[in-house]
Amino acid sequence: MLIVKKFGGTSVGNKERIFNVARRCAEEYRKGNDVIVVLSAMGKSTDDLIALAQTINPNPPKRELDMLLTTGEQVSTALMAMAFDTMDVPAVSLNAFQVAMHTTRVHGNARLKRIDTDRIMHELEHRRIVIVTGFQGVNKYDNYTTLGRGGSDTTAVALAAALHADACEIYTDVDGIYTADPRYVPKARKLDEITYDEMLDLATLGSGVLHNRSVEMAKKYGVQLVVRSSLNDHEGTIVKEETNVERMLISGVALDRNTARISVIGLKDQPGMAFKLFNMLARENINVDVILQSIGRENTKDISFTVSRDEADAAVKILESNLSRIGGKSISCNREVAKVSIVGAGMMSNPGVAAKMFEALYNQNININMISTSEIRVTVLIHERDAERAANAVHDAFGLEE
Ligand code: ASP
Ligand code: MG
């Protein structure tokens, strides 16, 4: 078997943890398997490197920031190879240049395009464990790129796809994917299985366990993932195309505080206004999420939408400087909001799921500002102070607890 194992920052955060990972991988290797280990940078070292960069230049050139950040994964992979050496297990660390992991040009958020497999195959044939730096790639100008925060998951899935691995295991500091974040929903339960689509919604909605691009890629190439803890032997959660357990109505509740609501009041009620407004934001690379347009009155209408909180200032600035062009009267921005979502493939064939969620919120006297839905998701925007109460109430209403 060829197995790709990815370990996150906390799983390699110190000497003991590094040896813990090395032992787990050596066990797999000694069974006769080929083992590829993908690592993140140790602990919070990527954050530390970003902070360090900012002491020199608050707005560092993106190429140089990537040059700096890629050192984090180089440290963890080299140390891991040294740990294997003490155990007399043959191993070699490879960075993005040595593998060759080819990406698009863009710094800070590059996409993997192609992976050369020759070097890795050669090392595996010589019965070495291959330790690969996560999160980094090389662009066509031979510059380092990075794949976006949390991107090591995507490195692992891409390698599993390129090498047709038999298993791709994502090790983290929690036991798997939960029905909600246990930090604020104490009754949250670990899921045995979840579909790619559900996971994509949960990843995008900020559950933070998997990089959403890694899930997209796993779905595209049919790579089955296992998410599990590096600190115990519990079974973890399998992420795959279809789950065969009897379908629950919903699989999880997600809470996302990184959101702000912007309202543009008094737009001209005529064709092209929504296009102009959202096109302006798109050109500045600002992602818009939930959108609500009011019914027109006296030839004007209002459009409200959400953006991530860190992009709210930029969005308001662009809109304000173009307000007269789109004929709007005023703009307001509310940062004290949060999104609560339910996700589940089971809701496709069951009417009344949204109503059940709204009832749970009504029983808590929680007011809904905006609503958006997809086939497998219902999202509401509410006041931030109600967020945790809402998540727990909805979690209870759907009987997700243990
Ligand atoms: N070290 C990178 C980060 O902190 C990549 C990763 O951990 O997946 O974002
Ligand atoms: Mg991660």
pLDDT, tens digit, 9 for 90 and up, residues 48-76: 999 999 999 999 999 999 999 999 999 99
Distance 178 CA to ligand 1 centre (A): 21
Write out residues with Cβ below 6 Å of ligand 1. 8-9, 40-41, 46, 72, 134-135, 149-152
| Structure confidence at residue 285 (pLDDT) | 85
Mean pLDDT along residues 253-274? 92
Distance 175 CA to ligand 2 centre (A): 14
Q: Which CATH architecture has domain 2-173?
A: 3-Layer(aba) Sandwich (3.40)
CA-nearest residue, atom 9 of ligand 1 = 149
Q: What share of the chain is helix, strand, coil (3-state, %, to 5)?
A: 40, 25, 35
Distance 306 CA to ligand 1 centre (A): 26
Distance 150 CA to ligand 2 centre (A): 4
Mean pLDDT along residues 121-139? 98
Distance CA 319, CA 50 (A): 30
Global pTM reads 0.88
When the pLDDT of each residue in the chain is averaged and rounded to a whole number, the result is 94
| Structure confidence at residue 206 (pLDDT) | 67
Distance 234 CA to ligand 2 centre (A): 19
CA-nearest residue, atom 8 of ligand 1 = 150
Which ligand is located closest to the Cα atom of residue 39?
A: 1
Mean pLDDT along residues 228-246? 88
Q: Which atom of ligand 1 is nearest to the CA of 153?
A: 8
Helix axes 62-86, 15-30, angle to 10 degrees: 60
Which ligand is located closest to the Cα atom of residue 212?
A: 2
Mean pLDDT along residues 32-37? 98
Mean pLDDT along residues 97-112? 97
Which sequence spans correspond to the domains of the chain? Answer: 2-173
Which ligand is located closest to the Cα atom of residue 38?
A: 1
| Structure confidence at residue 290 (pLDDT) | 92
Q: Which atom of ligand 1 is nearest to the CA of 44?
A: 4
Where in 65-163 does DSSP place strands (E)? Answer: 91-94, 101-103, 112-115, 129-133, 136-138, 144-146
What tokens appear for 68 in the block? Answer: 């700096």
Least Cα distance to 256 among 337, 182, 366 occurs for 337
pLDDT tens string 375-392: 999 999 999 999 999 999
Q: What is the b/e burial string over 332-371, where b = at least 16 CB atoms within 10 angstroms of the residue's CB?
A: eebeebbbbbbbbbbbeeeeebeebbbebbeebebebbbe
Which ligand is located closest to the Cα atom of residue 12?
A: 1
| Structure confidence at residue 247 (pLDDT) | 64
pLDDT tens string 134-188: 999 999 999 999 999 999 999 999 999 999 999 999 999 889 999 999 889 999 9
Q: What percent of the chain has pLDDT over 70?
A: 99
